[in-house]
Structure formats: structure tokens, C-alpha cells
Structure 1
Amino acid sequence: MKLPNGFTVRLNRRTHVADGGATLVGGVPTRVLYVTALARAMLTGGRLVVTSPTTAALAERLLDAGIADPVVAELPKQAEAVTVVVPVHDRPEAVARLLASIPSGIPVIVVDDCSRNPKAVRDVADRFGANLIALPENLGPASARNAGLAAVTTPFVAFIDSDMVIDADTVPRLLRHFADPRVGLVAPRIVGLEPESGPNWITRYEAARSSLDLGAEPANVRPGARVSWLPAACLVARTEVIGAGFSPGMRVAEDVDLVWRLVKNGWRVRYEPAVEARHEHRRTVLDWLGRKAFYGTGADDLAARHGDTVAPAVFTPWTLVFVGALLAQRRWSLPIAAGAAAVAAVRIGSRLRPTPDRARIAVRLTGLGALAATAQTAELLTRHWWPVAAVGSLVSRRLGRAVVVAAVADAVYEHRRTATGMGLASFAIARRLDDLAYGAGLWIGAMRERSSRALRPVVRVRSRIR
């Protein structure tokens, strides 16, 4: 399977160019690519257009490494047909709103997952000319989507939840990614749908920091990457690639499971924020927090299916020493942390080729590792392990200080990063409630399954620099 001529990729924002373009650093896991003079000539201004088997091979390598992304506006249009599958459980008004946003000519299958008012759902489906599949019992969204998938005869299928609204070009633009024959699944950025009754503090927070919004940067989606999953609220896939679809026994995290299975089978999965779809966020506190906790309960099932892939944090021995020293908050903490980083920089440098920028690259990689380890530790304290951190703070002032610093630093950083219109105090409260609810769901799932798999970090003996 080869990329077609005209396929265009561009080095992404997170890729560091060193040695005059001879060395590229980026991707997940972090990779150091040494680029030949011929390849540098192909990368004009950080862009590469496929015109030959050689340029196609280079583009493949950059895409696989997560160092470059397709330029969706320049990808060829795809003429193949697509069918939209909409899983439904009541809410006929929302279903009507979604169906009205789907361009005419695209076949739609509405799967009624045993609604309490099936007639209202049928009336909406009939009004918009959608095919209706009515399930005799409530099976959950995964099985409802699978029921619709079984009736799809087109090469592509789009799964869109009933609380979504799309634009006329949402699906056609996503289909452009399938010019890459290795792409099996792609998703847009999920942004907030402006409430008819006006926003409240919950919808304002969700508009800035929704669990479904994976950011403004495109990504090659894979476990452990910056974007490691895609929400099933809006997905477009090759029908034959996803087979029977979602794991039917999963009522939560089924989208994560699908992405990871496709990646494991060698398919490329893309996140495309240049294309957006709008989601109706929850408005009440109990409904909002309940949904966050529900997301957390799915981690243990993922751990049973995918093992350490679901680990809440990944460390190496030197980053454990680094964050452990900082958490100790002793006079020797900074010297020990600095020493661990220095040793790591020397070891990383020894694994790199002797180029002019080798020292700078080693220092950069060490800094990124230290920053990632610190951020993961802060997230453990405020999100995944907060019940333990809260109890520990009662008996340890140092731990209490670490939790407070982590919570405040996270809130300030996310408030600035998302550029939300909320005040810092209200944003910080919403941010902590978000983490508390998810963490509670995580622990509920762990206790229910009597397993700590989803709570245990992973320690890799050797950092994965390639």
C-alpha cells in the first residue's frame, strides 16, 4: 500500500529540526531521525509532496514516526460512498437536530437502542428518510453501532452520536485522509455546541477543557502518544477494516479499545482538528460529574484487554529519581534531581550520532523527559491517585504541599493554555472537580474488579529513543 502522488505531509509543530535539517527530533515514542541530503532536498520548507516511490517512502517514515502530519486541505477528495450510523436512546429532538445537519444524499441508519418512546424516534427517522433498526433490548452504544454497521454496504462508515451536530463538509473532509491506504480510522475535533438557553459555568468549562476535545494539533493516534484515543462521538472508518466493530461487552471506553486494536493490527489512526463537529455538553453538576466518573470506570476493563497500555504514567529509572527527589522536598532534593538529569543527558548523548547538535539534542530530550515526568506525577496526585494523596496529606505536610502546588500549577497552566473566558478561580474549581470525579470512577472500577492494573504506573528500564 503506497501513498498516492500528490499526497502532502508537513513537519508538525512539535518536531525539532537540528543540524541544519539533518536531524529531526519528535514523535511518540521520541525518535531521532537522521535525514540524508537527498531527503532534505525533498523536504522543502518542512513540506513533502509525494511524487515518486522515494518520496512516498520518506512520507511513510515521517507519518509513522509522528514527526509529520498530512495537510488535509491538499489531500485529494474521495468519491467513495459513506453511510452514517447513529445510535439512539430516546432524545428524539437531539436526533432530529443531528439528522438535519447531515447533508442530503448520505444514507443514514438510526439504531434505536430500546428507547422508552420508540414511536418518537421512528417518527424522526421517517421524517428525514433514515433507515431504522430497532433493538428489542438496551445493549449500549457499542452494540447499537455494531447493529448499524452490520447493515452498511458502503466502503466507509461514519459513527455519529445523537448529541452531535456536524457541518456539511465534516464527513467529506475527513474522508480525504483515506487517500492514505493505511488509514483505517479518523476523527474530527469535538467542540462545544452553543446551548440554546445560554452557557453556564459547566458548559463554559467544557468548551475549554472537554474530555472529548483532544486539542488543536493533528496527531497520529496510538497508545502512549499525546493523542492516544478518539471519542466515538464522531468517527469515520473503512468498513472492512473495523470488521464487526466495537467490543459488544463494553459500555464505556469502547472507542479507546477500537483505536488500540486497529493500531495493533497495523492500521494508521488519525486525529484531524482542522475538521470540527459540535457536541451538546452536559449542563447540570450531577450529570456532568457522573459522566466524568463513568469514563473513569472503563480503565480497568481496558487494562484487562490491553495490559500496561492503560497505565496512568510511564517513568524511567532516572525520572523516578528526579521526581522522587523533588517530592522529598529536602535540602538535597535539587542537587539529586539535577544529578539524575545530568547523568541521563550524558547517557542519551552517548546513544546519538556525533553531530554538531548532539549535546543540545541530548539536553533537549532530557528536559522533555523531566517535564513529562513532573506533569505525570502532578496528574497522579490530583487525578488518578487523589484518594491516596488526600489521606497522605493528613499525615505528611510535604505531600500536602506537593498536592497543592500540583493542583494550582495545573489550573494556572490549563487556564492560560485554553484561553477560556472563565475566571481563574471558577476554572480551577471546575478543573479539580473534573479530576476528582474521574479519579473516583477509576477507583470504583478498580475496587469492583478487585484489581490495581489501571492504577499502576509503568517503569521502563530504557527510554524509548529511536
Structure 2
Amino acid sequence: MTTARLPDGFRVTLGDDVRRRAGTAGGESLLGTVPPRLLHLTAAEAALVHRDGTVVVDGPATRRLARALLDAGLAHPTGPQPGAPTPDRVAVVVPVRDRPLERLLAALAAGPRLGGLVVVDDGSADPAPLARAVAEAGGALVRHPEPRGPAAARNTGLAAVRRGGPSGTPFVAFLDSDVVPAPDWLTPLLEHLADPAVALVAPRVTALHPEAGGLVGAYEALRSSLDLGTAPAPVGPHGAVSYVPGAAMLLRVAAVDGPAFDEDLHVAEDVDLLRRLDSGGWVARYEPAAQVAHDHRVAPTTWLRRKLFYGTGDARLARRHPGSAPLLTMTPAAAAVCAALIAPRRATAAVAAVAAAASTVRLARRLPRLRSPYRAAALLTAFEVVGGLWQAATALGRTGWPIAAVAALASRRARRLVAVVTVAEGLADWWQHRDRAPDARLPLPGYLLLHRVDDVAYGTGVWVGMVGERTLAPLRLRLRR
């Protein structure tokens, strides 16, 4: 459990996916569904949770309970929070190369007064227009004579802040040059930093022009890898939100010693930072109440190249952070059900049924404080199985697509299975994302086609990265109890 002390008055609220179950002796159990997790509360602890699901820190007992809920991912901070930093303690760092900045600078000027602005010109061919724009905005400009990449540019900006350019700025917001923050984007992020355990918090990244860009533009408005949805969450390799993009994030400067980003990485440097923070005991959070719009790349060839490029980062991350992001992570029961669907025989179906039943019984024996332990255990097992099936279906059409293609060529049964799984996964994915951008207009067939192209491009990048790194680590499977 995280040991950093939450301040008095700090407020957390149970997540929308959390179900409350009555326990024995007046206690209560909290069941989260995405991902599945369970936390027991004594009668005294349950009494500290208000009827609306909030817990307000006002002493040792509520402080311990709020921290336990946060660590379990069952509750999220809900502001306003006491002691939250103000915007004037934040310096904004913008890496840029051969791009206009006027749109971003105008958006920053329309928002709260910041503690400083540092723009890092990463080797632009014509630096004069950029210098004029930054001077007019009252910011500081640092220039790389030659391009060194976004990681190096962000580190240069962070170093400028540390040298005392903008004074009194213990927090740095990294914003890419192609984003436009909403006027109130910063306040919801700063509320999280009232928790001294939080090192990094990121906003939701939406489409700047959801109605433009044709089919690709509409698809990106609904399904961009930068947009992580509408639910707040802790960020971790095995959670509902496993990463946040470097396009927009707010960092506690004291959480990193030296450079924040690995300059040897030209892709996935943001995920690498998150993994290092996690291993150092820090917390990262995702806050969709804060929004930043992004000018998505919607030209088809540029879009495809970008997806492939993103995929190449998996192998390097797998080498640097072994075991942090396997292709599949599931319980034996979920694995057995997947095997039964892949090889539908009486024997595999029987094994799957026995594995699911054994998992339910074993879990129920660990839940003596619930009034209906077997019901809760069956529910948790079902969530695990469904989650495992979703992982397997996603992996089949994404990283595993070359394997699926070879199997489909060799077997009629495999062709039917691949066809059914990819269509079903595509429909489920469309249902999950269909309302993210009301202004986007994309027919279902177009969504299914572009989703499959998206997955194949990313998966191809993963295989390219594995060849370059000479590793199969991104294909690793992990069974957990």
C-alpha cells in the first residue's frame, strides 16, 4: 500500500463499476469489475463510506480507508481537494519542430495564469517564426541546432525549468505542439496532485476536428489510441488504463531525478516513463474531466505509418521492463475456456468447466466475510473469463494476426474461428466506442474495416520491433491466480 499521507479533507468516490455487497458482522465488500478486484471492509470501515460512495479524510481511519480504496482502484479522487497546487506553480514545456505554435499559445493564453512557458525548438529548418511567436507569448525559447527527438526536447525543457527559468514551478505540463487544451484543462489535473503519492496525471485527449478528415478522421475521433475514454483510473500495466500519451501530461518534478524521458527511445518513451515511476513506488492517474484536443493525423498513408511506428515500441519496452505488459494475462480458468473455444472437444469443454468450478470454489473459500461467498466468487470468475476472452480476441486480430493468418490458410476450422472472432471483436469494440465523439459520422462497415486495418498495422509494427530487438517477449503469456 502507498504510504504517502493524504491531507485532511481529501475526498474519494467509489468508481461507477464498483458493486457493494453486504458482508458478515455488519461489514461490506466492494467488487470492482474492470478489472476484477475485491476489497473487504469491516463494519467500522463500511460506516465511513457515505451513501453516495464518498469517503472524506478527517482522521487516521478515513485516511487509511481512502488510501486502500485508491490503491485498489476502487475509488478515484473527486475535487476540489485541499492543498491542490494552483496553475501558477506549473510550467508548460512544448517540444516543437517545423510546426506553427500560434493555436496552442492562444489556447494557453485563454486559460489560467501559468508559472512559465518553455518552448524547445528541436532543430526547425526556419526558427524565426517560432522565435517571434514565443517572444510575443512571453515564453522562453531553447533551441536544438539539430533534431534530437521529442524525448530529448522534453528533457531540455524540464532542465530549463529546474535551472530556475520560471520560478516556483514544481510541476511541469508537457504539451505537444499539435494539441489545444480546453480553458479549464489544468484544474482537474492539479486536484490529483494534492495526493503526495501522485507523480503524474494525464487528461483525456480528444479529436480537435471530429467532423473532418473523412472516414479515417471519423474513426480516429472514435478510436484514437490517444483517447483513453471517459472513466478516471489509476495508470498501470495491468489496469483498465495501462498508459497515457506524452502528448499531454502533468508531472511532479521531484518524482524524477535527471531526465524524465529516455532519449534513446523515439517511440513509447512516455510508457517507459510510466513504468519507471511505477517501479519507483509512484502513482500515475488518468483524469478525463480534463480535456485536451489533438489534431489527429488523418491522411491514410500517414495514419498507417504512425500505427506501425507505435507498434515497434512494444519490443523495446518488453526488454526494458520484463513482464510488465505480456500479450495475455489471465487466470487458468480463463485460459481453459479459451482453449475449449479454440479446440471444441468434449475433453477441453470438461477441462474448462472443471477449471472454472475449481476457481470459483477456491475463491469462495477465501471470502468467508461475505454473506454469499459462492455467488461473489462465481461473479468474479465470470468477469475473469470474459476479460480473458476479450484479451485473446484482441490479441488474435492485433499482435497475433500473422499467426491467425497462417492458421486460417492451413485449416478450414481455423478460418471459421478467425472470422467469427474478428467480427465479434470488431462489433464489441464498435459498441464500446460508438459514442465517444457525437460529431463523428462513420458507418459500422467502415468502422469494422478501419479497426481491422488499425490492428494489422500496429501488429505488424510489433513484429518489426521483435525482429529488430531479436526478442519474442511481446508474445509472452502470463497465468495468474
Fold shared per TM-score above 0.5: yes
Deviation at 1:320, TM superposition (A): 2.0
Instruction: Tell whether 2:24 aligns with 1:17.
Output: no
Q: Which range is displaced more, 413-422 or 293-302?
A: 413-422
- The CA distance in 1 between the partners of 2:447 and 2:351, in whole Å, is 35
Do the aligned residues in 2 keep the contact of 1:98 with 1:163 (CA within 8 Å)? Answer: yes
TM-score (norm 2): 0.91
**Runs of 4+ residues deviating >3 angstroms:** 27-31, 72-77, 330-336
> Within 5 Å, which residues of 2 pair with 1:277-426?
277-330=292-345, 333-420=348-435, 421-426=441-446
- The CA distance in 1 between the partners of 2:332 and 2:8, in whole Å, is 45
Do the aligned residues in 2 keep the contact of 1:328 with 1:398 (CA within 8 Å)? Answer: no
Do the aligned residues in 2 keep the contact of 1:27 with 1:65 (CA within 8 Å)? Answer: no
Long gaps (5+) in structure 2? 436-440
Instruction: Tell whether 2:9 aligns with 1:6.
Output: yes
Deviation at 1:123, TM superposition (A): 2.3
Do the aligned residues in 1 keep the contact of 2:93 with 2:117 (CA within 8 Å)? Answer: yes
Instruction: Tell whether 2:241 aligns with 1:227.
Output: yes
Three-state SS of the structure 2 residue aligned to 1:151 is: helix
> Aligned residue for 1:128?
137
Q: Deviations over 1:373-399 (max 9, x none)?
A: 111111121001101111110011222
Do the aligned residues in 1 keep the contact of 2:84 with 2:193 (CA within 8 Å)? Answer: no
- The CA distance in 1 between the partners of 2:416 and 2:427, in whole Å, is 16
- The CA distance in 2 between the partners of 1:15 and 1:391, in whole Å, is 41
- The CA distance in 1 between the partners of 2:277 and 2:250, in whole Å, is 13
- The CA distance in 2 between the partners of 1:361 and 1:70, in whole Å, is 27
Deviation at 1:331, TM superposition (A): 5.1
Q: Which range is displaced more, 394-403 or 441-450?
A: 394-403
> Aligned residue for 2:474?
454
Q: Deviations over 1:51-110 (max 9, x none)?
A: 112111110111011111111355654236110000001112xx2111111136422111
Counterpart of 2:98 (choices 90, 94, 99) is: 90
Do the aligned residues in 1 keep the contact of 2:36 with 2:384 (CA within 8 Å)? Answer: no
State the aligned residue count: 458
Deviation at 1:22, TM superposition (A): 0.8
Three-state SS of the structure 2 residue aligned to 1:2 is: coil
- The CA distance in 1 between the partners of 2:81 and 2:89, in whole Å, is 20
Do the aligned residues in 1 keep the contact of 2:364 with 2:377 (CA within 8 Å)? Answer: yes
Q: Could you say if the C-alpha distance between residues 202 and 57 of structure 1 is closer, same or farther in structure 2, counting changes exceeding 3 Å? A: same
Counterpart of 2:58 (choices 30, 51, 57) is: 51
Deviation at 1:223, TM superposition (A): 1.5
Do the aligned residues in 1 keep the contact of 2:35 with 2:240 (CA within 8 Å)? Answer: no
Q: Could you say if the C-alpha distance between residues 254 and 321 of structure 1 is closer, same or farther in structure 2, counting changes exceeding 3 Å? A: same
Q: Could you say if the C-alpha distance between residues 71 and 140 of structure 1 is closer, same or farther in structure 2, counting changes exceeding 3 Å? A: same
Alignment-mate amino acid for residue 89 of structure 2: A
Q: Which range is displaced more, 268-277 or 22-31?
A: 22-31
> Aligned residue for 2:438?
none
- The CA distance in 1 between the partners of 2:212 and 2:102, in whole Å, is 20
Deviation at 1:329, TM superposition (A): 2.8
Alignment-mate amino acid for residue 90 of structure 1: D
Do the aligned residues in 2 keep the contact of 1:146 with 1:245 (CA within 8 Å)? Answer: yes
Q: Could you say if the C-alpha distance between residues 105 and 71 of structure 1 is closer, same or farther in structure 2, counting changes exceeding 3 Å? A: closer
Alignment-mate amino acid for residue 21 of structure 2: A
Q: Could you say if the C-alpha distance between residues 32 and 416 of structure 1 is closer, same or farther in structure 2, counting changes exceeding 3 Å? A: closer
> Aligned residue for 1:66?
73
TM-score (norm 1): 0.94
Q: Which range is displaced more, 370-379 or 98-107?
A: 98-107
Alignment-mate amino acid for residue 361 of structure 1: A
Q: Deviations over 1:299-329 (max 9, x none)?
A: 1110111001121111333322221111113
- The CA distance in 1 between the partners of 2:41 and 2:112, in whole Å, is 47
Do the aligned residues in 1 keep the contact of 2:213 with 2:299 (CA within 8 Å)? Answer: no
> Aligned residue for 1:216?
230
- The CA distance in 1 between the partners of 2:342 and 2:154, in whole Å, is 46
Counterpart of 2:291 (choices 276, 295, 303) is: 276
Q: Could you say if the C-alpha distance between residues 181 and 77 of structure 1 is closer, same or farther in structure 2, counting changes exceeding 3 Å? A: closer
- The CA distance in 2 between the partners of 1:314 and 1:458, in whole Å, is 5
Do the aligned residues in 2 keep the contact of 1:75 with 1:177 (CA within 8 Å)? Answer: no
Deviation at 1:332, TM superposition (A): 5.0
Do the aligned residues in 2 keep the contact of 1:28 with 1:66 (CA within 8 Å)? Answer: no
- The CA distance in 2 between the partners of 1:360 and 1:176, in whole Å, is 38
Q: Which range is displaced more, 46-55 or 332-341?
A: 332-341
Do the aligned residues in 2 keep the contact of 1:203 with 1:281 (CA within 8 Å)? Answer: yes
- The CA distance in 2 between the partners of 1:253 and 1:72, in whole Å, is 31
Do the aligned residues in 1 keep the contact of 2:207 with 2:295 (CA within 8 Å)? Answer: yes
> Aligned residue for 1:37?
43
Instruction: Tell whether 2:164 aligns with 1:150.
Output: no
Q: Which range is displaced more, 32-41 or 21-30?
A: 21-30
- The CA distance in 2 between the partners of 1:64 and 1:407, in whole Å, is 35
Counterpart of 1:245 (choices 257, 260, 271) is: 260
Q: Which range is displaced more, 76-85 or 373-382?
A: 76-85
